[in-house]
Amino acid sequence: MPELIPLALTLLAVAGYGTALARLRQQGVRWPARRTACLAAGSVCVATAVLPPISVHDELFPVHVTQHLLLGMTGPAFMALSAPVTLALRALPRPPRRVLLRFLHSRPAVILSAPATAVILDLGGLYVLYLTGLYRAAEDNDLIHAAVHLHMFLAGCLLSWAIIGSDPGPRRPGVKTRLAVLVIAGAGHDTLAKLMYAHNLPMGGGSITGRHVGAELMYYGGTIIDLALAIIVMTQWYQATGRELARTARRSAIRRYPAAHDSHP
């Protein structure tokens, strides 16, 4: 079924991740268990969103919003924390690693990974879906429905990677930029939910009560996820600052007492 494409992509990612982990183990290289756990959690979120019982009742608007929160926000966030690009760069042989590095620094990758691009694709898609007749069309057409799911998932992955991703990439944004992107995305998400509630949208979303419940779920659920993302960004900043301070202290100690750090056979 076309709407299962996000799940198929996730399963491919899991297979690739597992293969890379096996290669690292053969090389005697350790990989943080928390990152593997994040991939597993993200995969569970995606599977929950597109498989029964949720997929059976996704014509109910509150259930559809639950899908959105799992497929477009929570699942991609966990996957971004699993650092798949870092794992690939460590596990791949030299030729494919060079290909991956060239792609990461290519113009298309620079454009796609830009925070502005991620926000536009993510929020723009949601505004078009819920404020126009696209939602009703998606409920009536399986291909449109599948395209909506795929866009929601991929745009969510891009946005999560831009905000909390730790993988290397072209022009990785700093902490201030990440927080600004998160604030913009969160404000846009909340505004959309308020518009939906005030104007009884989306069209084709069932009863007025169901639309209101869905809008409230989008507002409060999205706010909780955004707060979690903000905590993650600040935690990453704290850890990076601590590592930098430790490196500075070591360099200072070496310059001050060079003889103590010399090693002789």
At 133-190, the pLDDT tens digits run: 999 999 999 999 999 999 999 999 999 999 999 887 777 788 889 999 999 999 999 9
Question: Considering the entire predicted model, what is its pTM?
Answer: 0.90
User: Residue 224 above 90 pLDDT?
Assistant: yes
Average pLDDT, the chain: 91
Looking at residue 66, its amino acid is T
The burial class, CB within 10 Å (0-12 / 13-18 / 19+), for 229 is buried
pLDDT at 241: 80
Other beta carbons within 10 Å of 55: 17
The burial class, CB within 10 Å (0-12 / 13-18 / 19+), for 49 is buried
Q: DSSP 3-state assignment of 4?
A: helix
User: Residue 227 above 90 pLDDT?
Assistant: yes
Question: 118, 158 in Cβ contact below 8 A?
Answer: yes
- Between CA 258 and CA 136 the distance in angstroms is 71
At 71-88, the pLDDT tens digits run: 999 999 999 999 999 999
Q: DSSP 3-state assignment of 133?
A: coil
